[in-house]
Structure 1
Amino acid sequence: MLERLRAARANEDGFTLIELLIVVVILGVLAGVVVFAVQAFNGEGQAAACETDWKSVQTANEAFYAKTGDYALVMKDLTDKGYLKNAPAAKSYTIGLGAGGVVTASGACTH
């Protein structure tokens, strides 16, 4: 009986604990690399979104000026009159209007 157990145990195929630990470490390193790569893409995406929002508000404000003869002083003027569908809203930056048609950006995006 004991001989059969030893023979069966000798024929078992499988992974050792060391092999499993090596695989887990490799997966952890790969996950870390992916996280940092995705964060870099996210930062670039925020900058591109801010630039696009800034240009949209600038264009809407120029259209508002062409129609009314004055620049909008608050974003609500542009949205209420249909020059912008929605005011830009992001957690990492803000875009606003200043005197003389100046469009400002602050936060993670400075234009």
Structure 2
Amino acid sequence: MRRLIDRLSAARRNDGGFTLIELLIVIIILGVLAAIVVFSVRGITDTGDEAACKANYKTAQTALEAYYANDATNSYPAALADLVPDFLATDPSAAGVDAKVKVGYTHITTPSESYTLTSGSACTP
């Protein structure tokens, strides 16, 4: 009986760890899971940029129309910076704004008073 116990404990001592195949399978599984997470997070960021771009565009458009309605001469401002702080908290066309969410503004005086807004690269058509 003692021999059997000695052989079993010797067998356990020699079986101490994972095989190379087991480790490779675990590493592959972790790599696949990491790739799935990375691609999922990237989509979330793109959605946020798109929402911020659309919000900046609509906010600038609303502020321009409010400025026009309140202006005694019924004209649009020369630049979006003229709307700060009365109609906008910050200038969405400023140099420090990310190009993905930046709003471009062009004041048109002839043949009639109007403007053109352009949206950032994150806005989908």
**For the superposition of Structure 1 and Structure 2, which TM-score range results when normalised by the shorter chain?**
0.7 to 0.9
Identical columns (%): 42
2:102 aligned with 1:94, yes or no? yes
Offset at residue 11 of structure 1 (A): 5.9
TM-score by length of structure 1 reads: 0.78
Offset at residue 91 of structure 1 (A): 3.5
2:53 aligned with 1:39, yes or no? no
Unmatched segments (≥5 aa) in structure 2: 1-5, 109-113
2:71 aligned with 1:71, yes or no? no
Structure 1 residues 11 and 47: CA distance shift in structure 2, 3 A: closer
Unmatched segments (≥5 aa) in structure 1: none
Q: Which residue of 1 aligns with 2:30?
A: 27
| C-alpha contact (below 8 Å) 1:95/1:104 kept by paired residues | yes
| C-alpha contact (below 8 Å) 1:72/1:97 kept by paired residues | no
TM-score by length of structure 2 reads: 0.71
Moved over 4 A (4+): none
Q: Match of 2:69, as an amino acid? A: A
Root mean square deviation, CA, Å: 2.4
For the pair shown, the structure with the greater C-alpha radius of gyration is 2
2:13 aligned with 1:9, yes or no? yes
Size of the aligned set, in residue pairs, is 106
SS of equivalent to 1:70: coil
2:88 aligned with 1:84, yes or no? yes
